[in-house]
Structure 1
Amino acid sequence: MRKKIEHMSLHHAAYAGFPVRIVDSVLRQRSQIWNEHDYFEIAFCADGAGFHKTMKEKRRYRTGTLVVMNVHEPHCWYADDTSHVAFLQFTRGFLNGLEPFLLDNAHESFMLKTFISGVTGGCRVFILPAMYAAQIKRIYDGIRGELKTKLRGYETIVRAQFLELIVRMSRALEREHSQAVRKSIAGADAAVEKVTAYVTEHYGDDLTLALLASLTPFSPGYFSKLFKKHTCYFIYEYVNEVRVREACRMLKESGASVSDIAFKTGFRNIPYFNRVFKDIIGRTPTSYQKSANTPD
């Protein structure tokens, strides 16, 4: 069934001088009307939980969530039970003169595209930690109060509070990004450590990139780059280093032949073993074995 989408506008005489408002809504457990609008919207969930849906995705929201909506993006809200949401709505006219500040502070690409570039459509959902949610609530309360009383200079205060909102959002984004980076680094470190330990234990096996990558959450191509970045080795170089190290130990400690040691350490081709060994150690396996077993 084709969705019926209601068009909403802030281009009204009541907002001609200062095109910004806060609409406080109580969302209940029922299907909401799909709508799109010719103004920007930053919705703050003060209490409740549910889903926010666009034509492309369905995202969970809860208390403390901010939803940034671009102009002309059809969307709809579904509350689990009852949600209290404050909608900060403003037009491009409200942003006049604020562009330099936004360029400095709204560094996240979606916010820049939304507020400055003129690109239409798009949505970004931020689930804020309690500390940031309390700050955002205070800002909304301040804007709401100024718009209600309209005392002298209220436009300046509202703009200042809006800019504070952008800064708080940017800080929350930076925190979110840094946490994601730390998590990514930790995950990469764990993956590399797991693979290096596996190579140490199974150096005699057929160690392919596909096999080693399967020990991690990453694709072979991505893990190959990740491993090189973390160890400065290509995977095949690291495997050969481990194998040659073990071959050196065996050449010193056992009376096995060079060919037997080559196969035991995972090399399936004797000429290749000789070449790799010499590249790493600087001499052939036979020469190394003779010198290691020659009394001083």
Structure 2
Amino acid sequence: MSKEFESVFFIEQLKRSDPFSMASDHFHETYEIYYLLAGERNYYINNLVYALRKGDLIFINKNELHRTTTKGRANHERVLINFQECFVQSTLDAYGVSFSFMKEPVLLLRPGAYEQGQLENILQAMLKEQKEQQALQKPYLQTLLFQLLVEMGRIRETAREAIPPENNEKERKVYEIIDYLQAHYMEKLSLERLSDTFYISSTYLCRLFKQTTGFTIVEYLNYIRIKEAQTLLRNSTAKVTFIAEQTGFDSIAHFGRVFRQIAGRSPLQYRKQNG
């Protein structure tokens, strides 16, 4: 499979026997489907954490901060899919259908035994097709992905209730801080301001935030700001200097440096590629 093809569709099966936790959250401009074949994992998405067990499937929208960490026994096996909207859109259009969960930040499904079998059959067919690289590989994988999305939609419709995220006192406090960052990212935010707002010492605040998210507060704030800047670059014709100001950066140079660090290209390059 070519690098160009992998940029629009990628599937990988991975088995680990040692403890593994991602160092920090990340986001990307592709949808993600994560299916846990064996073991347990914690899945952090924005300001929530979901406890996954064998057979769980989680769908994450584009540009949502996320990471996985060890939970319980270290052994786990998963299948990961990343795909761009363009890879499946023509198939959706051909059948005249859409899936509402593709507009939501996250969807966690807990399929029954029969449903797990259906999902795993599709995933194994995808992995086999990617490995063998036969003729008409792309349309075949598009068809399999469409089948997978249909199965996910059916499971969601028959689910009795949504699976809630995990919750404890320390995580709740960090979630409150994240909510505050998301509401005030346009402003000049200092550690002292956050410490006073949440009645926590700055030292404990930094340690708690890093332990929970894998980010420093500045790193997380920059992700929020760059994510919003990307939205403005895609959906408006505003000048880059204006966007920098609107997203809380004190200079265009600082904005450009952070944007390139996170997005891997300049703001103007991003606009040109996503306009």
SS in 2 for 1:89: strand
Give the alignment's Cα RMSD to 1 decimal.
Answer: 2.5
Contact 2:15 2:77 in 1 (8 A): yes
Report the count of equivalent residues: 158
How far, CA to CA, are the matches of 2:49 and 2:7 in structure 1?
Answer: 33
- Give 5+ residue unaligned stretches, structure 2: 163-275
How far, CA to CA, are the matches of 1:172 and 1:29 in structure 2?
Answer: 31
| Aligned partner letter, 1:95 | V
Aligned equivalent of 1:82: 75
Aligned equivalent of 1:36: 27
Superposition deviation, residue 60 in structure 1: 1.1
* Distance change (3 Å), C-alpha of 1:43 and 1:13: same
Aligned equivalent of 1:19: 8
Equivalent residue in structure 2 for 1:55, among 46, 49, 64: 46
SS in 2 for 1:37: coil
Equivalent residue in structure 1 for 2:156, among 161, 167, 173: 173
SS in 2 for 1:24: strand
Superposition deviation, residue 180 in structure 1: 4.5
* TM-score where L is the length of structure 1: 0.49
Contact 1:48 1:63 in 2 (8 A): yes
Alignment of 1:249-288 (within 5 A): none
Alignment of 1:1-296 (within 5 A): 14-16=3-5, 19-26=8-15, 28-33=18-23, 34-80=25-71, 81-100=74-93, 104=97, 106=99, 109-111=100-102, 113=103, 122-176=105-159, 179-180=160-161
How far, CA to CA, are the matches of 1:16 and 1:153 in structure 2?
Answer: 13
How far, CA to CA, are the matches of 1:14 and 1:134 in structure 2?
Answer: 30
How far, CA to CA, are the matches of 2:49 and 2:88 in structure 1?
Answer: 29
SS in 1 for 2:47: coil
How far, CA to CA, are the matches of 1:77 and 1:62 in structure 2?
Answer: 13
* Distance change (3 Å), C-alpha of 1:125 and 1:103: farther
Superposition deviation, residue 149 in structure 1: 1.0
Superposition deviation, residue 16 in structure 1: 4.3
* Distance change (3 Å), C-alpha of 1:103 and 1:67: farther
Superposition deviation, residue 29 in structure 1: 2.6
Superposition deviation, residue 153 in structure 1: 1.6
| Aligned partner letter, 1:162 | L
* Distance change (3 Å), C-alpha of 1:180 and 1:65: closer
How far, CA to CA, are the matches of 1:52 and 1:41 in structure 2?
Answer: 12
* TM-score where L is the length of structure 2: 0.52
Aligned equivalent of 1:269: none
How far, CA to CA, are the matches of 2:157 and 2:2 in structure 1?
Answer: 39
